[in-house]
Amino acid sequence: MAGQDPALSTSHPFYDVARHGILQVAGDDRFGRRVVTFSCCRMPPSHELDHQRLLEYLKYTLDQYVENDYTIVYFHYGLNSRNKPSLGWLQSAYKEFDRKYRLHFLNMKNACIVLPPTAPPSLQPSASLHKFGKKVIYFNYLSELHEHLKYDQLVIPPEVLRYDEKLQSLHEGRTPPPTKTPPPRPPLPTQQFGVSLQYLKDKNQGELIPPVLRFTVTYLREKGLRTEGLFRRSASVQTVREIQRLYNQGKPVNFDDYGDIHIPAVILKTFLRELPQPLLTFQAYEQILGITCVESSLRVTRCRQILRSLPEHNYVVLCYLMGFLHAVSRESIFNKMNSSNLACVFGLNLIWPSQGVSSLSALVPLNMFTELLIEYYEKIFSTPEAPGERGLAPWEQGSRAAPLQEAVPQTQATGLTKPTLPPSPLMAARRRL
């Protein structure tokens, strides 16, 4: 991985943070002081990085040099709305540094900050850090570092080098070089979001149903089926990121601690949306768009045909999810979420094109297909009706059958009959079926 120390081991106490290569200790300045570099471009999105752990790792690193002089080089390029820490975190970080660190920052000889010409004012030294501010040197270009450091010893991210070249080209009136996308960083062994179903299966002893999906579905089945507006409500971005970090680090999540039934619902949708490939796969996108051209009485059969082309793993996970959503729709008299409403929420979380985003005209067939899967769950995912049609594979009916059985809605002894729901675009198809 770019930026990662080849000697870095998974046994490192801060491997989850150190693996990104945000912090590096390499080379010396002109006076022989060790150089510590901090590269913002290597900070992943906030939900993938525990900023408290980043702070602890920073202290852990500085502890090794805190009794001696050193120089810090901060590369600002790459800090954006997706990966920057909150202002509250910055304030708490400063407070958390004890007297030992504060005094040494003031005695530190240099802090070199390499910034683009339009540096945000919030990064300028404040009055409370006046002494520290006097030791800060601001640079617009990497070439200016040569005077102060042994430049060839620095670990400078390729992204920073390319951006510096672009700035130099613009300054000299030349056409900037084309940008290149850096290689993706490998996920943590415990990563849950943003990784493939195969990765999750391999890291979870062959379990087909991803842990996040199983935990959220189980919780919502037990406590949320009759919650009005289930899957309609949003949740705090900070809370969602916090839960994502916990899952990605392999830590337990207790949704009872958050006191909001809509949070696991949001986490479920987020998990689906962040899959590298949609659950229904890119290959099925065009087939699904054609569902509106199929005669209404044949659409359920067409759904079964399309699902036959899915990889086995995707099919099992989809069956598990649709069984749950079917159960949610059966409680629509309480939660107001019938199959049509659920389809509007989940359509774009189950399928999207490989390039760009779905057009407005694509929403009708995508939602219709999703509504068919939910409304006719038992028929679509039942055993084969014709030769060559897929039902449950033998291995799905054995030890792996538990998640699928759990997904099948059970008749509840409530004495209530299913209410008459508002008509949906599929009403005509249902009558013919």
| Digit-coded pLDDT (tens) for 163-180 | 888 887 777 766 666 655
The three-state secondary structure class of 74 is strand
Distance between CA 227 and CA 263 in Å, rounded? Answer: 12
Q: Which residue has the higher pLDDT, 336 or 188?
A: 336
pLDDT interval class at 288 (50, 70, 90) = very high
Side-chain-facing half-sphere of 124: CA atoms under 13 Å: 6
Distance between CA 313 and CA 128 in Å, rounded? Answer: 57
CA dihedral 302, 307, 309, 313 (to 10 degrees): 180
Q: Bridge partners of 136?
A: 111
Residue-wise DSSP of 299-355: HHHHHHHHHHTS-HHHHHHHHHHHHHHHHHHTTHHHH---HHHHHHHHHHHH---SS
**Mean of per-residue pLDDT scores for the chain:** 77
Whether the predicted pLDDT of 228 surpasses 90: yes
Distance between CA 375 and CA 396 in Å, rounded? Answer: 22
Amino acid at 35: V
Whether the predicted pLDDT of 68 surpasses 90: no
Whether the predicted pLDDT of 412 surpasses 60: no
Q: What is the pTM assigned to this prediction?
A: 0.57
Q: Bridge partners of 24?
A: 37
Q: Which residue has the higher pLDDT, 133 or 192?
A: 192
Identify the pLDDT of residue 429. Answer: 44
Distance between CA 200 and CA 187 in Å, rounded? Answer: 11
Whether the predicted pLDDT of 118 surpasses 50: no
Distance between CA 201 and CA 393 in Å, rounded? Answer: 17
Amino acid at 203: K
Residues of the chain with CATH 1.10.555.10: 197-381
Treating both helix axes as pointing N-terminal to C-terminal, what angle do 87-96 and 51-62 enclose, rounded to 10 degrees? 30
Residue-wise DSSP of 220-272: HHHHTTT-TTTTT----HHHHHHHHHHHHTT----GGGGT-THHHHHHHHHHH
Name the CATH code of domain 197-381 (choices 3.60.21.10, 3.40.50.620, 2.102.10.10, 1.10.555.10): 1.10.555.10
Residues of the chain with CATH 3.40.525.10: 15-170
CATH C-level class of 15-170: alpha beta
Identify the pLDDT of residue 229. Answer: 93
pLDDT interval class at 316 (50, 70, 90) = very high
Whether the predicted pLDDT of 112 surpasses 80: no
Q: Which residue has the higher pLDDT, 132 or 338?
A: 338
Mean pLDDT value across residues 415-431 = 42
Tens digits of per-residue pLDDT, 238-265?
A: 898 899 999 999 999 999 999 999 999 9
Element (H, E) at 219: helix 211-223
Mean pLDDT value across residues 421-427 = 46
- The answer to whether 404 and 396 are in contact (CB under 8 A) is yes
Q: Environment class of residue 125 by beta-carbon count within 10 Å: exposed (0-12), middle (13-18) or buried (19+)?
A: middle
Whether the predicted pLDDT of 86 surpasses 60: yes
pLDDT interval class at 375 (50, 70, 90) = very high
Terminal CA-to-CA distance of the chain, rounded, Å? 55
Mean pLDDT value across residues 201-214 = 94
To the nearest whole percent, how much of the chain has pLDDT over 90?
38
Treating both helix axes as pointing N-terminal to C-terminal, what angle do 211-223 and 262-273 enclose, rounded to 10 degrees? 150
Nearest to 17 by CA among 47, 36, 43: 43
